Amino acid sequence: MARTGTVAGGGRGARGSAAAPPAAVPADDVELTQLQRLELYYWMRLTRSLEERLVNLYRQTKVVGGLFRSLGQEADAVGSAYALERSDVLSPLIRNLGSMLVKGATPVEILKQYMAKGDSPTRGRELNIHFGDTARGFIGQISPLGDMVPVMAGVTLSFKMRRDPRVGLVYVGDGATSTGAFHEGINFAAVQRCPLVVVVENNGYAYSTPTRKQTLAAQFIDKAIGYGIAAEQADGNDVIATYAATRRAVDRARRGDGVTLVELITYRRKGHAEHDNQSYVPAGEIDRWERENDPITRYLARLRSEGVTDDALAAIDARVAREIDEATDLAEQSGVPEALDALVGVYADPPSERPLWYRAGQGGVVDQHERPEGWGTYDAAARGAD
């Protein structure tokens, strides 16, 4: 369902998506080897299992802060990221654990981040999967939604200026399309013809807000024409279709043909974060998506129909389980950050701030009683949003 500067007719409406799962559509034909097809399964399974492990750790109060799930969205995250080359740069969101894994983030890093360990990728400075590594080609998000679109416009502008054939990909949620930053960033990138792919993950909700309260547009690809850019729309729960649509956009960007808006239609089966009881979701909606449109179940059926054996799949599952166990053991061994590290690296120069005078010579002056009781579990609502 590619669209380049024209309106795609009869696209699956954004508003429709929350109400009823899209019927299984035949995925676009793409050339992926059997090995690659199994790799896609591996990443999706790893994503889901790792999040399940995080739920356990969360219940054990080993996670500091909130926990965010991408249950039911693994295909959209994995399939889109898989369309990038190693040297390309991706900017993930809170529900793009799968994308980060594809780009080289490791389970142990994820676990350490969630547990706020001293040797986690951000040394305990930032939450959950808010981290990046330019060497591996992913850039950590910040919480204010939409801000990564302008930033990725600049990342890809630098590629264009240096005639470096790299591509950038940035995710925004259906909710984040309402921000000024999204608009300014995508328009800037369009006019500058940056090699950028903007993926709108339409999962039906922004926190508790359904898409129809976010926009009146029938579908998010309808925004593309207003920016004079190309659009692609795909069933985000079909990993191959997602891959194919994103790949077309990536190729277009690499060819120098500018920005594409990719809409991936999916569904957020868990609440905004673990504490959210989803009371605002119409009865039966979640069940229906789980039953009829789970991206892993769907992909398994497809793989089997293509002749992949149960043994081959079981081997992947076993590998995933082993990797997560190992990562958990490793992550649990790490210590908490050194208090004084809090003062390091606000600037390149000076390399560190000085402790305030009443802290001089003290690692930590905090009395036990001053810690919020039971942080990590205390106040579910205090962990309301990412």
Partner 1 sequence: MAEITYLEAIREALFEEMERDADVFCLGEDIGAYGGAFKVTEGLMAKYGESRVIDTPISEIAIVGAAAGAAHMGMRPVVEMQFIDFIANAYDMLTNYVATARYRAFLPCPMVVRGPSGGYVRGGPFHSQNPEAGFVHTPGLKVVYPSTAADAKGLLKAAIRDEDCVLFFEHKYLYRRIKGEMPAGDHVVPIGKARVARDGRDLSIITYAATVYKALEAAQQLEREDGLSVEVLDLRSLAPLDDDAIDATVRKTNRVLIVHEDTRTGGLAGEITARINERCFEWLDAPVLRVTAHDVPLPYAPSLEDFVLPQTADIVLAARRLAAY
Ligand X SMILES: Cc1ncc(C[n+]2csc(CCOP(=O)(O)OP(=O)(O)O)c2C)c(N)n1
Residues 346-385 that bind its own copies (CB under 8 A): none
Mapped onto helix, strand or coil, the DSSP state of residue 202 is strand
Complex with ligand X: residue 49 or 179, whichever CB lies closer = 179
271 Cα distance to chain centroid = 15
Under DSSP, the state recorded for 252 is: H
CB of 14 to ligand X, least distance (A): 11
Complex with ligand X: residue 201 or 238, whichever CB lies closer = 201
- Residue 144, interface with its own copies (CB under 8 A)? no
Mapped onto helix, strand or coil, the DSSP state of residue 89 is strand
x/- map, 1-40, its own copies, by CB under 8 A: ------x---------------------------------
Contact of 365 with 146, CB cutoff 8 Å:
no
Contacts of 353 (CB under 8 A, 6+ apart): 343, 344, 346
CB-neighbour burial class of residue 28 (10 A; exposed 0-12, middle 13-18, buried 19+): middle
Q: Which of 46, 83, 206, 316 binds ligand X (CB under 6 A)?
A: 206
Contact of 300 with 313, CB cutoff 8 Å:
yes
- Residue 145, interface with ligand X (CB under 6 A)? yes
Per the listing, tokens 């009371």 go with: 279
CB of 249 to its own copies, least distance (A): 16
Residue nearest to Mg ion (CB): 173
Residue nearest to ligand X (CB): 173
Angle formed by the axes of helices 239-254 and 34-59, nearest 10°: 110
Enumerate residues 176-205 that contact ligand X by CB under 6 A: 176, 179, 201, 203, 205
- Residue 48, interface with ligand X (CB under 6 A)? no
305 Cα distance to chain centroid = 29
Mapped onto helix, strand or coil, the DSSP state of residue 317 is helix
Q: In 119-140, which positions are buried (b, 16+ CB within 10 angstroms) versus exposed (e)?
A: bbbbbbbbbbbbbbeeeebbbb
Contact of 268 with 175, CB cutoff 8 Å:
no
Enumerate residues 245-304 that contact its own copies by CB under 8 A: 258
Enumerate residues 163-222 that contact its own copies by CB under 8 A: 178-184, 187-188, 190-191, 213-218, 222
56 binding partner (options Mg ion, ligand X, its own copies, none; Cβ < 5 to 8 Å by kind): none
CB of 228 to ligand X, least distance (A): 17
CB of 199 to ligand X, least distance (A): 11
- Residue 382, interface with ligand X (CB under 6 A)? no
- Residue 263, interface with ligand X (CB under 6 A)? no
Q: Which residues bind ligand X (CB under 6 A)?
A: 93, 95, 143-145, 173-176, 179, 201, 203, 205-207, 268, 272, 385-386
Q: Which residues bind its own copies (CB under 8 A)?
A: 7, 178-184, 187-188, 190-191, 213-218, 222-229, 258
